[in-house]
């Protein structure tokens, strides 16, 4: 049995953890089977509890852009831990990482650190409401901004209707303030602004979506959002929990040349520890307590271990901006190799890619939004996932998740991955 120890651990976990996991996608419900349990990792590789080694294409869902156990990050955390793990009192390292982040990212003057992407996006929405004096927000179907109540909303009956809760525990009262638009559809956004004049505090969006799989903004879409927000006095909020410090030093704002009003960060900014943040111009951020009236707080926000890891990671990125070109080239190489094999086998696919993010959709039609992502053949994705897993390749265990490449991946690793797919296709496993 390939996964004997992992299966034993999962059975134990199910007795004490809901579904056996602490985040749902880890349970393999989307692909079937039992999840593997990881014992250790280094560079581009994971090792599970059965001693099997995998080439890793999720990088802890994005944070580990330079690979696992990256020495400067490990050293920073180790040295900081010797001096104390938490104080609940300001530290110099908080100032240092804030200064660096503000210097790297366009259009921000101040930044507030929190502990998760959910917390960052939740706080950004509260700040947008406090700043504008308005209550409603627009989000896009298929975009994920964490598990805060305001974001767990599904589409209503039409483009100008309110959404409805898609999780028990989310109230109808919360849902009425969240309006749903279609990704890459400016007309749906315009309709919401027209139906709710002077009521919309902000529009929140993943500038490159990663939670319906990797879905790219079409030409003119983000520019149009920017214009609509400006015309209607609403804030454009970029959820860059995935894209921040991954697509470029300045994130999607830099890579796409679009100016956002509020930006949220996570993943890379923590170097693998639980760190997130939200940032904006001073006039917006100064509405936060203790300067302003919009309240936000966190006992472990700015934790010195986490700040040290994040500072080490951002420092390395600042020193080595060539990493973004390196990652983009590796991702393009993988894309070309996979696409060629699928074409030769007559298997219809769409591979979406931007920088070091990409996704494979088993469909003939372009994937431009959540509806087209849903129409992909997710049954074939399951076969694809397990065929590569059994050959030592760890992909996202869901067709609705993006790959995140790390720069520790070598071209030999990419060739091994392509060869694994070739073998699986030739044996009829996909």
Total length of the chain: 430
Q: Tell me, yes or no, whether 240 and 288 share the same domain.
A: yes
Q: Which pLDDT belongs to residue 158?
A: 45
pLDDT in tens, 386-427: 999 999 999 999 999 999 999 999 999 999 999 999 999 999
Q: Tell me, yes or no, whether 141 and 240 share the same domain.
A: yes
Q: Tell me, yes or no, whether 63 and 78 share the same domain.
A: no
pLDDT in tens, 55-97: 999 999 999 999 999 999 999 999 999 999 999 999 999 999 9
Q: What is the rounded distance in angstroms from the CA atom of residue 242 to the CA atom of residue 144?
A: 11
Domain that holds residue 64: 4-69+321-426
Closest by CA position to 205, among listed 246, 260, 255, 160: 260
Q: What is the rounded distance in angstroms from the CA atom of residue 290 to the CA atom of residue 70?
A: 36
Q: Which pLDDT belongs to residue 153?
A: 83
Q: Which residue has the tokens 């997130």?
A: 276
Compute the average pLDDT of residues 359-383: 97
Q: Tell me, yes or no, whether 31 and 132 share the same domain.
A: no
Which residues carry out catalysis? 144, 239, 267
Q: Tell me, yes or no, whether 89 and 149 share the same domain.
A: yes
Instruction: Please state, as a whole number, how many other Cβ atoms lie within 10 Å of the Cβ of residue 374.
Output: 14
Contacts of 386 (CB under 8 A, 6+ apart): 31, 32, 33
| Boundary residue ending a domain (319, 341, 359) | 319
Which CATH number covers residue 267?
A: 3.40.640.10
pTM of the full structure? 0.96
In this predicted structure, the answer to whether residue 363 has a pLDDT above a threshold of 70 is yes
CA distances from 179 to 165, 225, 386, 404, 421 (A): 11, 15, 37, 29, 41
Q: Tell me, yes or no, whether 350 and 275 share the same domain.
A: no
Q: Which pLDDT belongs to residue 2?
A: 81
- Return the DSSP state at 104: H
In this predicted structure, the answer to whether residue 162 has a pLDDT above a threshold of 80 is no
Q: Tell me, yes or no, whether 230 and 365 share the same domain.
A: no
Q: Tell me, yes or no, whether 248 and 100 share the same domain.
A: yes
Q: Tell me, yes or no, whether 100 and 215 share the same domain.
A: yes
| Boundary residue ending a domain (270, 288, 319) | 319
Q: Tell me, yes or no, whether 53 and 133 share the same domain.
A: no
Q: What is the rounded distance in angstroms from the CA atom of residue 57 to the CA atom of residue 418?
A: 13
Which CATH number covers residue 348?
A: 3.90.1150.10
Phi, psi of 424 (to 5 degrees): -65, -40
In this predicted structure, the answer to whether residue 191 has a pLDDT above a threshold of 80 is yes
| Boundary residue ending a domain (319, 337, 367) | 319
Contacts of 335 (CB under 8 A, 6+ apart): 351, 353, 358
Q: Tell me, yes or no, whether 46 and 123 share the same domain.
A: no
CA distances from 286 to 40, 261, 290, 294, 310 (A): 42, 14, 9, 9, 24
Q: What is the rounded distance in angstroms from the CA atom of residue 121 to the CA atom of residue 396?
A: 23
- The answer to whether 193 and 202 have CB atoms below 8 angstroms apart is no
Q: Tell me, yes or no, whether 146 and 60 share the same domain.
A: no
Q: Which pLDDT belongs to residue 156?
A: 53
Q: What's the domain count of the chain?
A: 2
């Amino acid at each position: 049995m390939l996964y004997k120890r992992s299966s034993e651990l999962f059975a134990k976990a199910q007795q004490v953890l809901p579904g056996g996991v602490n985040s749902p996608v880890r349970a393999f419900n989307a692909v079937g089977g039992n999840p593997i349990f990881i014992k250790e990792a280094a560079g581009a590789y994971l090792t599970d509890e059965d001693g099997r080694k995998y080439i890793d294409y999720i990088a802890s869902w994005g944070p580990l852009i330079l690979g696992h156990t990256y020495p400067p990050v490990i050293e920073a955390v180790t040295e900081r831990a010797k001096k104390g793990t938490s104080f609940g009192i300001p530290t110099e390292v908080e100032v240092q990482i804030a200064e660096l982040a503000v210097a790297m990212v366009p259009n921000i003057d101040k930044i507030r650190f929190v502990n998760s992407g959910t917390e960052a996006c939740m706080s950004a929405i509260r700040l947008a409401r406090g700043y504008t004096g308005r209550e409603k927000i627009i989000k896009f179907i298929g975009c994920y901004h964490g598990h805060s109540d305001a974001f767990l909303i599904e589409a209503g009956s039409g483009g100008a209707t309110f959404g409805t809760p898609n999780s028990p525990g989310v109230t109808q009262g919360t849902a009425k303030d969240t309006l749903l638009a279609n990704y890459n559809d400016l007309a749906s956004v315009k309709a919401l602004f027209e139906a709710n004049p002077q009521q919309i505090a902000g529009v929140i969006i993943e500038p490159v979506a990663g939670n319906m799989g990797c879905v790219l903004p079409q030409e003119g879409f983000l520019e149009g959002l920017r214009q609509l927000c400006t015309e209607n006095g609403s804030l454009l909020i970029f959820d860059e929990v995935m894209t921040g410090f991954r697509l470029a030093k300045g994130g999607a704002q830099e890579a796409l040349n679009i100016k956002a009003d509020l930006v949220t960060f996570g993943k890379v900014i923590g170097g693998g520890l639980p760190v997130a943040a939200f940032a904006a111009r001073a006039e917006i951020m100064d509405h936060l307590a203790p300067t302003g009236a919009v309240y936000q707080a966190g006992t472990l926000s700015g934790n010195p271990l986490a700040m040290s890891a994040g500072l080490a990671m951002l420092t390395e990125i600042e020193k080595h901006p060539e990493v973004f070109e390196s990652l983009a080239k590796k991702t393009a190489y993988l894309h070309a190799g996979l696409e060629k094999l699928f074409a030769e086998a007559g298997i219809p696919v769409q591979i979406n890619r931007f920088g070091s993010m990409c996704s494979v959709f088993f469909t003939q039609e372009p994937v431009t939004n959540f509806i087209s992502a849903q129409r992909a053949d997710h049954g074939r994705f399951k076969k694809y996932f397990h065929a590569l897993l059994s050959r030592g390749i760890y992909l996202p265990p869901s067709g609705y998740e993006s790959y995140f490449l790390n720069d520790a991946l070598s071209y030999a690793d990419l060739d091994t991955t392509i060869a694994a797919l070739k073998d699986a296709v030739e044996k009829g496993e996909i």
